[in-house]
Amino acid sequence: MTYYRYRHPETGAYHGMGSNKAEACAAARQLNGILLKESDLVGQVIGTAEQDINHLIKRFKEDHLPGKKLAASTLQTTNYRLGRIGRDIGDRQVDQVDVQTIAEYLDDNFERDSYVKHRAMLIELFHRNDDTPVGADLFEADDFSDLTTEQRIRRRMPIQRRR
């Protein structure tokens, strides 16, 4: 009979887990999820691991804004919006912010045109890798200039293809 045990990742102490392999493995996975600090590999690659939104705003201002060639008033408005976002949610970690968090922030703080403008600024702020939004690689063919007018017309999908 085989007896399974779990080694605590920090203390090194062993704990008995019984003779059922499936239960021991499930418990070990659960314990590792609680006890081990997760490493954010994606965040390390794109440079957002353990960075807050203020850091992202600073990078955006340094790397992105100078190349946009904005008029003075547009640059002033953009800096105002970025400053407001930084004051409101700038201390939050980038990897901890999700769509729900942003939606709640926008709903609680803005209405009408201001809501739309700040949402657009947040979308632009969270774009990555030279203006390529996250997931844009899913839509590789968005240049339809080589299509004729007849080919561009949308048609209903046949019922056979809907399934």
Tell me the average pLDDT of the chain: 76
pLDDT at 127 over 60: yes
- Give the model's confidence band at 135: pLDDT under 50 very low, under 70 low, under 90 confident, else very high: very low
Write down the H helix ranges in the chain: 21-35, 41-46, 53-59, 65-68, 72-89, 99-109, 112-125, 149-152
- Report pLDDT for 132: 35
Task: Give the other-Cβ count within 10 Å of 100's Cβ.
Answer: 8
103 neighbors 61 (Cβ within 8 angstroms): no
Q: Which tokens go with 147?
A: 């299509």
Query: 60-105: per-residue pLDDT in tens?
Result: 888 888 888 889 999 999 999 999 999 998 888 877 788 888 889 8
- Residue 52's contacts (CB-CB under 8 Å, 6 or more residues apart) are 90, 91, 92, 93, 94
What is the C-alpha separation between 27 and 124, in angstroms, rounded? 42
The percentage of the chain sitting over the pLDDT mark of 70, rounded to a whole number, equals 69
Give the pLDDT score at 79: 93
The encoded tokens of residue 19 equal: 């003779």
